[in-house]
Structures are given as C-alpha cells and as structure tokens.
C-alpha cells in the first residue's frame, strides 16, 4: 500500500494570492490586483463589470495578500520543516514584463524568482512553476483585450523564452495555465477578458481558449528545446460530473458537462480538437479563427503530464430542480449523498479516486494532483492554538482515496500538492478567512492583523504523512 519512492509531496500557492508587493520591484499592474472582495467580485472576475483601476469603495486583497514578497524565506523554511519535496507556485507575469509587450524583461522580477528557487533547492525542494495562475498584465488587457487577441500568444512566448532560459537547472516542472477551463467561468480573472455589450460571449471565450491552447503548445516546444529535462503539464479544474439519476437524459447531460472541461485537456494531451467540440462549435457558429500552423503545433507538442485541482465532484440533473450546491467557481446540482464544507462545497473523497481513474483512462499520461484542500474558518483556542481536525479529516480521506487509485487501480501519479499550505487569499471570494493552510497567517478579510505565521495542528500531521510517504495518516 505504498506510493512510489520519488512521490512529490508538497503544497501549492499562486503569486496573486500570497505575494502582495503589487507595486514593488518594478512590477506592473495585473488583472488579479483589481479583483475586490465583496459583492462586486463576481461581476469583476466574470468580465461583466470593468474594473481597470483601484477605487476607494473597494478592498483589494491581492495588494498585500500575505506579503510573501517579503517573507518567502521564512515561509519556505516552514515548508521544508514539513518535509516538502515540491513547492508549486506561480510567476507573476507583470513582475517579469510589467507591461507584457516589452522586449526586455525586468531584472528585479527575474531575480526575485531566482532567489525563491534557490531557497527551495537549499532544502531539497523541487519548484513546480505555473507560468500563469490567472494573472495577466493590465496593459495587455487595456491595449489588446487580453487573451481574445491573438497577439497574446507572442507575448506569452516571450515570457516563456525568458523564464525557461533564465531558470534552466533551477526549475524542471512547469504548468502552462492554471485551471485553463476556468476561462469559461471566470473570464476576466482567468484570461483578462471583459465583454462588450451584445457580443457573443461564448465565441469570445473559445477564441481566447484557442489562443491559450496554441500558446501552451508553444511553451511545451520551447521548454523541451531549452532543456530536455523539462517536463510540462497542462492544468485543469477537475471533479467528475455525476448524473443525478440513471435517467439517460441525466447521464447524457453529465457527459456533456464533463466534456466542457475535458475539451481543454483533449487538445493539450491528445494534440487536436475533439470531434464533439468541432461539431458543437460549428452548430453554434463559434468555431475559433485558426492559423495554418496551429494544427501542427497542437499535434506536435502535447503536454508531458496532466495536472489538476480537485475540490469536489459535481452533479447534474435535467428535471428543472434548482437545488444547487456551490463548488470551485461554479455551482451544480446538490448531491444528497454528500456533506458540504462551510462554503457549501461538496466533500467527496471517493470522487477523487473516480476522477483520477476517469482522467487516467482517458489520457494514459502521468497525472499530478496540484490542488486539493478544505477552505474553513479557523478559530484559535484560548492558548492561541488551532486544532484543525476538520482539515486533517478532509485531507486524510482524500489521500486515502488517492492511495487507492494509485495502489489498487494503478493510476500513474507523480505527486500531490495540497492547496494553500499557508493561509492565503481566496480566489473565488477574495476572503482571507477562508483558510486552507497548515500555517496560520494573522490577517482578516479587511486587511487587519500582524501577518504573523503560526503552525496549526495539521502542520504536524502533514509532516508525518510526508515522512511516512503516505502510510501514516493518523
Ligand atoms: C482553484 C484555484 O480555483 O481553487 C486557486 O486554482 C483557488 O487559485 C482554489 O484559490 C480554491 O478556491 P477558493 O475560491 O476557495 O480560493
């Protein structure tokens, strides 16, 4: 009942949710800086409300986040103490290219990440780098309209050229786009897209998706050319979709909703647009404009591995019942067999085994779980300790399910990075008090607090899990 010896245990963060320092070191403004907390967040991240500048009526949590910009040494030291083998993090594009379309990168930004990677290696931690985790320089949005514009491919290519060369020998695991399928659900946060009155939003989203898919293939090509040791993965928000009943209508609906996410991985892993997507796009009149060389690029440069986030399974029904459950960025039918987190997300450990099997059956490539965890409110006890047994229970059950998929089903899994090993800003709600960490950060939803780090009970538990290579889950 064992994981392989080189199994990569660790944790995952994203620049915009932890770094802060939004205007330091020559960094340019990015879409993710402008997503406020509160009632307007949803309209902003979905591209319905244009927010291209800060205003006094909103609080923007990414400006400071947990200030990892100034604390990364202390934070990586804590990750090392837990025994991390890998640390998944992302690069803020606008630190390297503040505007996005410059020729020359910002040396201070490059150096910042170089220092982080060196710090990781000091402890034998392998960095796993997401090239873009939802972020896009604002200049590229204002001047070019974000990923709806084909020119974005070239700007992304420049970024890849620079970082692959500069970090050769320091980084060998790369992810091209975080949760690439989120372009469908949060197009401003995911791809810098705001919609104009009356335009066909679906058409815009799939055109932008096409640009990202081509950019991802180009990234894989360059990564391999620069260093044959580089391994490049795609990354999508996973979670198998269950039919609410065995009514064939429910089953067919579940297949269709599953395909909305698999579409991206079908292209990135198999190297071409699947027939079902081509047919549907044609029917709806939303087939993206493609260039001659795109087909060849997609075919020649598929990803080496498939990474995904898993928080919950999803469920669909066709009987017009609108009893919905929340979930990672979008809601689906409420599954009566499951329990739910404080934020209403279903908790379904077996769903992780099911998802791992579905994805592996479909692609037959190595998989990597790069996000999984429980967002919860943590209340310190009278001694200031956080006994987060609820988090330990959640993770224990998910790790067990993952172990079953590996050991009993033979799924080829490279590693597991839990989401937010240190408390950070929530992507969906912008809250700080939706915590995932093993490490508590003293900061609240309004930006109050000392930013002091302290270890939760789960810190010691995860340390044991890693030390025993997943055998000791008690
Ligand atoms: C994924 C993202 O959507 O889920 C992360 O890749 C995000 O950036 C995570 O933080 C958890 O979602 P939330 O909304 O609880 O932060």
Q: What is the pLDDT of residues 69-110, one digit of tens each?
A: 999 999 999 999 999 999 999 999 999 999 999 999 999 999
CA dist list (Å): 15 to 252, 262, 411, 429: 38, 26, 30, 16
**The total number of structural domains that make up the chain:** 1
Closest ligand 1 atom to 182 CA: 3
What is the predicted pLDDT for the residue at 311? 98
Domain assignment present for residue 181? The answer is yes
Residue 1 pLDDT exceeds 80: no
Domain assignment present for residue 207? The answer is yes
Cα distance between residue 137 and residue 1, in whole Å? 46
Task: Name the 3-class secondary structure at 173.
Answer: strand
Which position among 119, 212, 371, 431 bears the catalytic label? Answer: 371
Cα distance between residue 179 and residue 130, in whole Å? 10
Number of C-beta neighbours around residue 103 at 10 A: 6
Whether 40 and 129 have beta carbons less than 8 Å apart is answered as no
H, E, C per residue of 255-313: HHHHHHHHHHHHHHHHCCCCHHHHHHHHHHCCCCCCCHHHHHHHHHCCCCEEEEECCCC
Domain extent at residue 176? 8-467
Q: Kindly state the percentage of the chain with pLDDT values over 70.
A: 100
What single-letter DSSP state applies at residue 184?
Answer: G
CA dist list (Å): 105 to 21, 99, 100: 18, 10, 9
Which position among 119, 126, 179, 212 bears the catalytic label? Answer: 179
Task: Give the mean pLDDT of 201-210.
Answer: 98
Query: Best of 15, 314, 427 to mutate for ligand 1, by most ligand atoms within 8 A of CB?
Result: 427
323 pLDDT tier (thresholds 50, 70, 90): confident
Query: pLDDT tens for residues 392-440?
Result: 999 999 999 999 999 999 999 999 999 999 999 999 999 999 999 999 9
What is the predicted pLDDT for the residue at 321? 85
- Kindly tell me the number of DSSP H helices and DSSP E strands found in the chain: 15, 16
Query: pLDDT tens for residues 30-59?
Result: 999 999 999 999 999 999 999 999 999 999
Query: pLDDT tens for residues 356-366?
Result: 999 999 999 99
Cα distance between residue 351 and residue 430, in whole Å? 26
Comparing C-alpha atoms, which of 319, 210, 316 is closest to residue 258? 316
Structure tokens at 277: 């997507």
Query: Distance between terminal CA atoms of the chain?
Result: 15
330 pLDDT tier (thresholds 50, 70, 90): confident
> Which CATH number characterizes residue 192's domain?
3.20.20.80
Number of C-beta neighbours around residue 168 at 10 A: 14
Centre of ligand 1 to C-alpha 326, Å, is 13
328 pLDDT tier (thresholds 50, 70, 90): confident
Structure tokens at 413: 């899994």
Domain assignment present for residue 281? The answer is yes
Domain assignment present for residue 13? The answer is yes
Domain assignment present for residue 473? The answer is no
Q: List b or e across 176-193, with b for residues whose CB sees 16 or more CB atoms inside 10 angstroms.
A: bbbbbbbbbbbbbbbbbb
Domain assignment present for residue 1? The answer is no
60 pLDDT tier (thresholds 50, 70, 90): very high
Domain assignment present for residue 144? The answer is yes
CA dist list (Å): 316 to 113, 313, 339, 451: 42, 10, 17, 41
Angle at 420 between CA 410 and CA 394, to 5 degrees: 55
Query: Best of 190, 328, 430, 437 to mutate for ligand 1, by most ligand atoms within 8 A of CB?
Result: 328
Centre of ligand 1 to C-alpha 32, Å, is 13
The residue assigned the tokens 């320091």 is 170
Centre of ligand 1 to C-alpha 281, Å, is 29
What is the predicted pLDDT for the residue at 322? 84
Task: Give the mean pLDDT of 243-250.
Answer: 98
Kindly calculate the radius of gyration of the chain based on its CA atoms and give it in whole angstroms: 21
Pocket around ligand 1: residues whose beta carbon is below 6 Å from it?
14, 17, 178-179, 237, 309, 328-329, 371, 375, 419, 426-429, 434
Residue 329 pLDDT exceeds 80: no
Whether 278 and 205 have beta carbons less than 8 Å apart is answered as no
Domain assignment present for residue 135? The answer is yes
Task: Give the mean pLDDT of 303-322.
Answer: 95
Structure tokens at 323: 């009893």
130 pLDDT tier (thresholds 50, 70, 90): very high
179 flagged as catalytic: yes
Closest ligand 1 atom to 426 CA: 16
Task: Give the mean pLDDT of 322-342.
Answer: 90
Residue 149 pLDDT exceeds 90: yes
Centre of ligand 1 to C-alpha 68, Å, is 18
Comparing C-alpha atoms, which of 415, 376, 368, 306 is closest to residue 84? 415
Centre of ligand 1 to C-alpha 427, Å, is 5
Write 243-252 long-range contacts (CB < 8 A, 24+): 243/315, 243/316, 243/317, 244/315, 244/316, 244/317, 244/319, 244/333, 244/335, 245/317, 247/318, 249/318, 250/316, 250/317, 250/318
339 flagged as catalytic: no
Task: Name the 3-class secondary structure at 147.
Answer: helix
């Amino acid at each position: 009942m064992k994981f392989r010896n080189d199994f990569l245990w660790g944790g995952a963060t994203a620049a915009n949710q932890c770094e802060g320092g939004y205007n330091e070191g020559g960094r340019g403004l990015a879409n993710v800086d402008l997503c406020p907390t509160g009632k307007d967040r949803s309209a902003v991240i979905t591209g319905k409300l244009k927010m291209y500048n800060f205003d006094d009526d909103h609080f923007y949590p990414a400006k400071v986040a947990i200030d990892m910009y100034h604390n990364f040494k202390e934070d990586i030291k804590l990750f090392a103490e837990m025994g991390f083998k890998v640390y998944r993090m992302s690069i803020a594009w606008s630190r390297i290219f503040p505007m996005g379309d410059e020729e020359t990168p910002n040396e201070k930004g490059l150096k910042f990440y170089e220092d982080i990677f060196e710090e990781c290696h000091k402890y034998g931690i392998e960095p796993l780098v997401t090239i873009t985790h939802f972020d896009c320089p604002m200049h590229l949005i204002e001047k070019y309209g974000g990923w709806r514009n084909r020119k974005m491919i070239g700007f992304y290519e420049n970024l890849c050229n620079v970082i692959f060369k500069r970090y050769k020998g320091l980084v060998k695991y790369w992810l091209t786009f975080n949760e690439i399928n989120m372009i469908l659900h949060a197009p401003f946060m995911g791809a810098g897209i705001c919609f104009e009155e009356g335009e066909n939003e679906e058409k815009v989203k799939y055109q932008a998706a096409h640009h990202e898919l081509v950019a991802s293939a180009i990234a894989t090509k360059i990564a391999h050319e620069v260093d044959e040791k580089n391994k490049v993965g795609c990354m999508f928000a996973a979670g198998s979709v269950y039919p609410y009943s065995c009514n064939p209508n429910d089953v067919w609906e579940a297949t269709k909703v599953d395909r909305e996410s698999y579409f991206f991985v079908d292209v990135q892993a198999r190297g071409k647009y699947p027939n079902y997507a081509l047919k549907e796009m044609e029917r709806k009149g939303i087939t993206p404009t493609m260039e001659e060389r795109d087909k060849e690029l997609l075919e020649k440069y598929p990803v080496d591995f498939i990474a995904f986030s898993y928080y919950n399974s999803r469920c669909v029904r066709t009987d017009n019942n609108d009893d919905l459950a929340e979930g990672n960025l979008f809601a689906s039918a409420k599954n009566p067999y499951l329990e739910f987190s404080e934020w209403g997300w279903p908790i379904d450990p077996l769903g992780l085994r099911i998802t791992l099997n579905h994805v592996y059956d479909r692609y037959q490539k190595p998989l990597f779980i790069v996000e999984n965890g429980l967002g919860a409110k943590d209340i310190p006890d009278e001694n200031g300790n956080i006994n987060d047994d609820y988090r330990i229970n959640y993770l224990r059950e998910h790790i067990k399910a993952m172990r079953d998929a590996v050991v009993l089903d033979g799924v080829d899994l490279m590693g597991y990075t839990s989401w937010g090993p240190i408390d950070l800003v929530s992507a969906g709600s912008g809250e700080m008090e939706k915590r995932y960490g093993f490490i508590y950060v003293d900061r609240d939803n309004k930006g109050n607090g000392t930013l002091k780090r302290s270890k939760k009970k789960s810190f010691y538990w995860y340390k044991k899990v890693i030390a025993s290579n997943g055998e000791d889950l008690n």
